[in-house]
Chain A
Amino acid sequence: MFKISPSFIKQIKLFLFPAVTIFLILILTVRFLLPKIEETQAIFSKNSKDKETLNSLENKAKKLTDLKNSTLTVDFQKAEAVLPSDKNIPQIFASLNQLERVNGVQLEDLSLKPGILSKDTVGGKKGGANLENLVFSVSLVGNETSVLAFAENLLKNAPLFNINSVTLTGSGGTFRLVLGLTTYYQNLPETLGKVNSPLPELSEPQKKALALIQSFSFNAIPIEAGTSASSPSGGLTGKSIFDL
């Protein structure tokens, strides 16, 4: 019969408890502790990303607050006057009539075919970012200085007119000027994008356009001063959007 010696049993007892302890520690480390460490690392990574998102959102919220208290509404109205959101035929007439009065000329003829005037289908595109144009011609009479002054001031007056062609005829005191012109309009965007999309800064072309607008005259178009972007009755203090 097989007999286990007492010394063998004592040897087993000597190593049993530490071995079991080490084994249990290894098992717990692999099955419990390491996954917890990985989860903690994942929480840390997520927090880092969320901090960046938070930073971006807070910057955007601050910038929007600054914009709200700036001259954004007035600046937008000027840009809208230079480049309307739809075919603003009355505005074209008002501007030309204003120039006629200021420069002492007489408008003889305005040849304009506006086409579709519905806001929803202007240019066949709804809420698009495409620039649409309106081509027409205008004829006026006056002395040489006044008709040329009309043409010069036309280029500095809202809305934006581009001269395609000029025909000047006459002699003595009376000249007739026929201008081939193009004016433009563009629909407003329909969507703003995501909440966490950052607000873009002005690009170089946009800054050039801003400088051009600053040189324009808005005599024929009423621009409301002292309104905030969200509350028409609110008052603005004078920080200019250009300083942002």
Chain B
Amino acid sequence: MALNINLLRKTQTISPALLNIAKIVQRVAIVLLSVFILVTILVFAIRIFFTVETNQIQNKINTATQQIQAEKSTEGVYLSYLQKLSAIDTAAKDRFQAPDIINKIKKALPPQATISAVSLNKENFLLGVEFASLETLQSVISGLQNQTELPVKEFTLQGFDKNLKGKYITQFQIVMGQNKK
């Protein structure tokens, strides 16, 4: 700095108050300059660090991308597999377990009675039962009425006949539903 405040003070051409203000301003300028230089150096150092980090991250991203592209077939198989699983779940929803229903009906019948015909779908079915004596009929009806393992909504005796073998054949209609009878 070209200024020499002390020299100027000695010449006594400037007032002491003004000289003090000048001193303060000079100090502020020095501090600001120092801070500016330090901050600039710091910002550039951080920037260089981040730039190096950017390059490293980009290299790793490229490597990972290449690895993924090399395993494209595996990814294809996996995604196809997941799609198939979802479709299988959709297709198998509320599967009609017809054999299970027939077996439960069979269990409800007394041993003297046999199933002669069954025609069923999800909502209802027709059941033909054959037996030799009329005493068995009541057992058949009570067995079907008390069948607790299936949601039977309606239960109707549709027909009663005697076949050529001398056996009785009854036909029941059973309507399935949510409410148990």
Interface residues of A (CB under 8 A from B): 6-7, 10-11, 13-15, 17-19, 21-22, 25, 28-29, 33, 36-37, 39-40, 43-44, 46-47, 50-51, 53-54, 57-58, 60-61, 64-65, 67-68, 72-73, 75-76, 79-80, 82-83, 129, 131, 133, 144, 148, 151-152, 155, 160, 162-171, 180, 184, 186, 188-189, 192-193, 195-196, 199-200, 202-203, 205-206, 208-210, 212-213, 229-230
Please provide the 8 A-B residue pairs with the shortest distance between their CB atoms, ordered closest to farther. Answer: A57-B64, A18-B29, A206-B85, A64-B71, A209-B88, A168-B118, A205-B89, A61-B67
Question: Please, which residue of chain B has its CB at the minimum distance from the CB of A130?
Answer: B87
Please determine whether B18 and A11 come into contact, CB atoms closer than 8 angstroms.
yes
How many residues does chain B have at the interface if contact means C-beta atoms less than 8 Å apart? 78
Please determine whether B58 and A131 come into contact, CB atoms closer than 8 angstroms.
no
Please determine whether A10 and B115 come into contact, CB atoms closer than 8 angstroms.
no
Cα distance, A13 to B130, chains bound together (Å): 128
Cα distance, A40 to B58, chains bound together (Å): 17
Please determine whether A163 and B117 come into contact, CB atoms closer than 8 angstroms.
no
Please determine whether B87 and A14 come into contact, CB atoms closer than 8 angstroms.
no
Cα distance, A205 to B81, chains bound together (Å): 13
Question: Please, which residue of chain A has its CB at the minimum distance from the CB of B80?
Answer: A188
Checking B46, B73, B91, B118 against A166 with a beta-carbon cut-off of 8 angstroms, the contacting residue is B118
Checking B1, B60, B75, B125 against A54 with a beta-carbon cut-off of 8 angstroms, the contacting residue is B60
Interfacial chain B residues near A206, Cβ < 8 Å: 82, 85-86, 89
**In residues 69-120 of chain B, which contact A (Cβ within 8 Å)?**
69, 71-92, 95-100, 102-103, 114-120
Please determine whether B92 and A148 come into contact, CB atoms closer than 8 angstroms.
no
Cα distance, A161 to B62, chains bound together (Å): 46
Interfacial chain A residues near B98, Cβ < 8 Å: 151, 163, 165-166
Please determine whether B57 and A47 come into contact, CB atoms closer than 8 angstroms.
yes
Interfacial chain A residues near B79, Cβ < 8 Å: 189, 192-193, 199-200
Q: Does B157 belong to the interface (CB within 8 Å)?
A: no
With A25-B36, A79-B85, A186-B87 as known contacts, state yes or no: A36 contacts B78, CB within 8 Å: no
Q: Which stretch, B20-28, B136-144, B173-181, touches the partner chain A?
A: B20-28
CB distance from B111 to the nearest CB of A (A): 14
Question: Please, which residue of chain B has its CB at the minimum distance from the CB of A176?
Answer: B117
Cα distance, A36 to B87, chains bound together (Å): 55
Cα distance, A179 to B92, chains bound together (Å): 17
